[in-house]
Amino acid sequence: MGLFNKLKNIIKKTDEEKEQLNLYDKGLEKTRKEFVSKLNLLGIKYTKISEQYFEELENLLIMADIGVNTVFDFMEKLRNRVKKENISDTKYLTEVIIDELFIIYVDEGNLTDKLNEAPSGPTIILMVGVNGVGKTTTIAKLAYKYKNLGKKVLMIGADTFRAGAVAQLKLWSEKVGCDFIGKEKTDPSGVIYDGLEYALKNDIDLVLIDTAGRLQNKVNLMNELEKMNRVIGKIIPNAPHETLLVIDATTGQNAIMQAEAFKNITNITGIVLTKLDGTAKGGIVLAIKQSVKLPVKFVGLGEGIEDLQPFDIESYIYGLFKDMV
């Protein structure tokens, strides 16, 4: 069992890796307690694999918010593997389940959590997502992370019509200690233009652009995002380098619907999943990968400004299953 044995050797990781593991450990505690405890009970209830075992496992996976279609595909692969390898022991099958869940994420190539950074000049990241998902806070956490890595960061407040949005982002820029450009009740693309001109003149390394979160009128939002992309590309060729969609893990399957809607109206390159620590349905990570074929680049594992972490599939699987290793 490749991954299962890898998780057993987790103590050999570096201190930095262990620190990340601890964050995943705490952040996935609710999901682990809910999901893994039930999986353990299933293994006690059924010592041998049966159709009843498969039915209860299927229901358990759906309850973890892995997604119905993902679960159906997963169960088919699991049944085939059980038949092919003549597996009868549920304890051994648990190890197979962990490996197969890992394979769901890395299937069709390893989707990297690394940001696509510009080879020269500023890296431009457009942040999108509906209101209330933690977009502004996520921008602040990203700014904090990259500022601590020695990067010069600029926030651009292009959510210009939502009351208080620009002021809120400006406040965060002051807390984090990074540059800020923003103006209320004006054309968002004009603010972006001014911000990027500033970035070029002031040797900014990373630009984080806040945008409106109105998904109700998709046509207007699509037109607005298209205009933003044209302005960005005109000033900085091949930008934006990332368009990250911020979604709230606690909204479950609704998060997938948001991801699909945004993917249809603009070129999303990755997902930031906030409030993963606030849900018992952490399987949503796998559902997003399977449903919208986008990498989760960052996950929110707590309320602290340092709790936004690059997504790491091994740490995620460990956070879910460490009590079984």
Structural domains of the chain, count? 2
Spatial contact of 314 and 6, defined as CB atoms under 8 Å apart:
yes
- Whether the per-residue pLDDT at 236 is higher than 90: the answer is yes
Residues in the chain: 325
Domain CATH number, residue 37: 1.20.120.140
- Whether the per-residue pLDDT at 59 is higher than 80: the answer is yes
pLDDT band, residue 181 (cuts 50/70/90): very high
Question: Is the same domain home to 41 and 138?
Answer: no
Domain ranges, residue 200 = 123-314
CA-wise closest residue to 129 among 187, 191, 215, 189 = 215
| Dihedral angle computed from the Cα positions of residues 64, 65, 68 and 73, in that order, rounded to the nearest 10 degrees | -70
| 210 occurs within a structural domain | yes
Tell me the H-state helices in the chain. 2-8, 15-27, 29-31, 37-45, 51-63, 68-85, 90-106, 135-148, 165-176, 188-201, 218-235, 253-265, 284-292, 313-321
Give the C-alpha distances (Å, rounded to integers) separating 318 from 9, 277, 298: 11, 15, 17
Final residue of a domain: which of 80, 106, 132?
106
Spatial contact of 270 and 297, defined as CB atoms under 8 Å apart:
yes
- Highest mean pLDDT pick, 67-81, 165-179, 302-316: 165-179
Question: Is the same domain home to 179 and 275?
Answer: yes
For the entire predicted model, the pTM comes to 0.90
pLDDT value, residue 113: 64
Instruction: List pLDDT tens digits, range 250-260.
Output: 888 888 888 99
pLDDT band, residue 4 (cuts 50/70/90): low
Question: Is the same domain home to 132 and 75?
Answer: no
Q: Taking the CB of residue 87, how many other CB atoms lie within 10 A of it?
A: 15
Q: What is the mean pLDDT of residues 141-149?
A: 96
Domain CATH number, residue 236: 3.40.50.300
Question: Is the same domain home to 185 and 266?
Answer: yes
Question: Is the same domain home to 177 and 305?
Answer: yes
| 88 occurs within a structural domain | yes
CA-wise closest residue to 113 among 282, 234, 274, 244 = 244
Final residue of a domain: which of 106, 133, 157?
106
The alpha carbon dihedral of 214, 220, 224, 226 has a sign of positive
CA-wise closest residue to 206 among 269, 308, 127, 125 = 125
| 319 occurs within a structural domain | no
Can you tell me which residue has the tokens 């990781």? 13
Spatial contact of 318 and 136, defined as CB atoms under 8 Å apart:
no
Question: Is the same domain home to 93 and 175?
Answer: no
Instruction: List pLDDT tens digits, range 152-163.
Output: 999 999 999 888
pLDDT value, residue 17: 67
**For residue 200, how far is the Cα from the chain centroid?**
29
| 9 occurs within a structural domain | no
| 322 occurs within a structural domain | no
Final residue of a domain: which of 50, 75, 106?
106
- CB-based burial label for 138 (10 Å; 0-12, 13-18, 19+): buried
| 263 occurs within a structural domain | yes
Question: Is the same domain home to 169 and 298?
Answer: yes
pLDDT value, residue 298: 94
What average pLDDT does the chain have?
A: 87
Question: Is the same domain home to 94 and 147?
Answer: no
Of 9-13, 265-269, 270-274, the range with the lowest mean pLDDT is 9-13
Question: Is the same domain home to 32 and 129?
Answer: no
Q: What is the mean pLDDT of residues 2-19?
A: 60
- Whether the per-residue pLDDT at 325 is higher than 70: the answer is no
What is d(CA 153, CA 203) in angstroms, rounded to the nearest whole number?
9
The alpha carbon dihedral of 33, 24, 110, 112 has a sign of positive
| 244 occurs within a structural domain | yes
Question: Is the same domain home to 102 and 136?
Answer: no
pLDDT value, residue 8: 58
- Whether the per-residue pLDDT at 138 is higher than 80: the answer is yes
Q: What is the mean pLDDT of residues 169-191?
A: 96
Question: Is the same domain home to 130 and 89?
Answer: no
Question: Is the same domain home to 67 and 206?
Answer: no
| 113 occurs within a structural domain | no
